[in-house]
Chain A
Amino acid sequence: MAAPRSRAWLSRTNPLAKLGAGIAVTIVLLVSVDWVSATVALVLEFALLPLAGLSARMLIMRGWPILMGALVGGYGTALLAPKTGEMLLALGPVTLTTGSVEAGVAIALRGLAVALPGIIVLASTDPTDLADALAQKLRLPHRFVLGALAAMRLVGLLVAEWQTLGMARRARGVGGEPGFFSNLKAQLGQAMALLVQAVRRASRLAVTMEAKGFGAGPRTWARESTFARHDLWVVAGGLVIAAVSVSAAVALGTWNPVFG
């Protein structure tokens, strides 16, 4: 979270432009359930990965839960969708037909195509830049935005704190007893202790912020959030992905809007 700025091209564009492009792609994909538009969008999104500084390996490391989710969703759809077309498999209650498999594949691809823009935006966006854009360009209240940003930094500290608390409590004899319920009790106690520590640290941080004049009166911004020409390219890119996917699906006759 606190790594130095990524050098990828997308990292230098305005977070709001990336959000806009991502939303455009998402809306189109949510409107139709067909495999063509999803596949086209997915292929185009993959082509953008280098711009976000993401390699295939990093993508799998970050995105494997989504991949699993998409596969499970596709499988469930194939089981439950209307059984049209030829019978492919019949094992008691488990029946798959070409029609239901097609629906399952479409859902799985769609899940991935909707999730990938999110991963790309998250990976290429620094939280500080996002906060700057939200407060300066979208005019969200800066107290709220910067408070959330400072809180996010504390979340990173909680991981180390959890490890320390675990050891500190084991040193007192908490936990380490066999049995599911005693283990659960120990974990809950530790979570409570973590919460107490988080609240105490947050209130000390709030004093620091208040002492630095936070929250009273107008403020200036050391980092200006700007829109530049490349942000137009980002938004246009999102619109192009959306338009090309829809056109391909319409041309191949698979376009299947949810409404209508």
Chain B
Amino acid sequence: MNAAPNRVAPVRIQARGWGWQHSGRRNRAVDGLDLVIEPGERVLLLGPSGAGKSTLLHALAGVLGADEDASESGELLIDGSPVAESRGRAGLMQQDPDAQVVLSRIGDDVAFGAENLAVPREEIWRRVPAALESVGLHLPLDHSSSALSGGQKQRLGLAGILAMRPGLLLLDEPTANLDPAGVVEVSDAVRHSLDETGATLVVVEHRVSVWLPVVDRIVVLAPAALGEPGGVLFDGPPATVLAQSRELLAAAGIWIPGYIPAVRPRTAAASTLMESKLREPGLGTSDTGLQLLLEAEALAVSRTKGRKRHPVVPVAVVPQVRISAGQALSVTGPNGSGKSTLALTLAGLLAPAGGRLEASPALARGASTSPLKWRGRELISRIGTVFQEPEHQFVTGTVRDELLFGPRLLGHGEDSVEELLVRLRLEHLADANPFTLSGGEKRRLSVATVLAASPQVLVLDEPTFGQDANTWAELASLLTELLDAGTAVVSVTHDAAFSAVLGGDRLVLGDASHPVEVEASNVSAPISGPPTVPGPDVAKSSVSTDGVRS
């Protein structure tokens, strides 16, 4: 490959006893760090949450400086000079794809960074197409930057960084918010651009296998505890470090290759038990003999409301969905196939664009048979929905109030809150503001708040996105327990391992060219024993259209 014109001078990083304390925090985020990264090295930075990985990346990107009360110790050097004097040498990519894009046309957005570095105009327009080419975005320069998928937005962000010709790429969990296809897109784009430019790479990400083909060194950081400096715990070639630190990383919830956290299996007896317990004459029962809760036929779904003269084109039409007590249903399919829209419609949050959606008498319990018509308090004790972004669902100022919100609305169930706090390891955070929690804690809280109202049907939208292995295992165990106790669980997910653990049916929505093609495979036998499927970190595993393994 003749990539000589795009090569940059790679950066050397040196930390000498470097430490950083954010203002208002008792503990140092990083303390006593000694580390040298040679030019052109590609480093995966791992460590338990709180080890200061993001702090280090932000410091290298030069975006930590504004905080007056923060204190820095030691030295952090880029090519021998302090970070503040190395403007334009490092490019940072963050997690949120929407916070990655600055301008409304993709060509202008790629040019933005280069403009800020005062690159001459002719040179900018030489770099922009090359950068877009390098990340594989083959779109016209005036294409709207809002009309991109998450993976495309991240690649656009990367192209903007490449156009700055930095000697150092800093990636802060760049694929945490992406579906498997987006993850592959982004890691391929990063690898390709590194091969072209020869830049140094530091990436923070807890899905190790995504980055193993890209990196040539792994550094494991330890959290800085009170009176005990953090720093480098393990350092070396990926294979060696993974062998040395396997247990530590697994305990820290990092997705190391070949590791599937232990999950409470579904009990084999559950389905037979349910049959005897729940089948009541006169109430609807499904084919499998389980109690029917929600049924849809020829259900068309759309986020926009149609008018009489201009009916909407539904994003998906599903011939039939039956949701029964104690049954899991996984909804999968490519981006834009309408998975989330279907889930929101089933959950009584969006009006169906066509077809029939009906709650059975066992679920309606005297209320309307249309979930959309239920009032707030009627809804939460029947169908609970966990959104992809936990912050969207926080409605109070403390973790405890958040959990009490549902039970208070219902007028009962407040005593279960303390138990949920302990169960989801949130008791030490009971008085904290929900927005200040870590990603995994927010996810656990958002699930717990919905469970506090004891809904009969639980709907989850990508519950495992960006979660570490510990939170993943806790969530999966909790759900198998709920399933065994008779809750129906509908999850929109790309995570094959997660679907496998829950068992049940799988509904596969087609892509835009085959919007009505829907397959449902009835694999109702519950899983017994630990699953033997690959973990969700195997990004390349395609979403299978066949039944869940039992």
Identify the stretch in B116-124, B218-226, B362-370 within 8 Å (CB) of chain A at 4 or more residues: B116-124
Binds B, one of A77-85, A90-98, A156-164: A156-164
Task: Give the total of B residues in contact with A, Cβ under 8 Å.
Answer: 72
Cα distance, A164 to B143, chains bound together (Å): 25
Docked CA distance A83–B124 (Å): 67
* Bound Cα distance A128, B374 (Å): 45
Q: Are A171 and B113 in contact (CB under 8 A)?
A: no
Interface pair A220/B393, CB less than 8 Å apart: no
Binding stretch for chain A, among B197-205, B253-261, B343-351, B522-530: B343-351
Contact with B along A123-160 (1 / 0, CB 8 A): 00001100000000000000000000110010011000
Partner of B350, one of A1, A167, A216: A167
Cβ-defined contact, B376 with A150, below 8 A: no
Give the contacts of A155-192 with B (CB-CB under 8 A).
156-157, 163-165, 167-178, 189
A208 to chain B: which residues have CB within 8 Å? 92, 94, 99-100, 102, 157
| B380 lies within 8 A of A153 (CB) | no
Of the listed stretches B231-239, B384-392, B491-499, chain A binds: B384-392
**Complex Cα gap A1–B200 (Å):** 37
Q: Which residues of A contact B303 (CB under 8 A)?
A: 163
A229 contacts partner chain B, Cβ-Cβ < 8 Å: no
Q: Given known contacts A156-B146, A197-B391, A208-B94, is B104 in contact with A173 (CB within 8 Å)?
A: no
Nearest-CB residue, chain A, relative to B113:
A212
Contacts of B63 in A (CB 8 A): 207, 210-211
Please tell me if B488 contacts chain A, counting CB pairs below 8 Å: no
Taking a contact as CB atoms under 8 Å apart, the answer to whether B379 and A222 are in contact is no
Q: Are A171 and B104 in contact (CB under 8 A)?
A: no
Q: With A171-B393, A212-B102 given, is the CB distance from A196 to B435 under 8 Å?
A: yes
A230 interfacial contact with B, CB 8 Å:
no
Whole-angstrom distance from the CB of B72 to the nearest CB of chain A?
17
B457 vs chain A, min Cβ distance (A): 12
- Which residue from chain A places its CB closest to the CB of B88 in the assembled complex? A213
Contacts A220-B120, A224-B121 given; indicate if A211 touches B387 (C-beta within 8 A): no
Contact of B392 among A127, A168, A220, A223 (CB under 8 A): A168
Q: Which residues of B contact A (CB under 8 A)?
A: 58, 61-63, 87-88, 90-92, 94, 96, 98-105, 108, 111-121, 124-125, 128, 140, 142-147, 157, 160-161, 164, 303, 344, 347, 349-350, 374-377, 379-380, 384-385, 387, 389, 391-395, 405-406, 409, 435, 449-450, 453
Task: Supply 9 A–B pairs (Cβ within 8 Å), ascending by A.
Answer: A127-B104, A164-B387, A171-B347, A171-B379, A176-B375, A211-B90, A213-B113, A216-B116, A223-B108
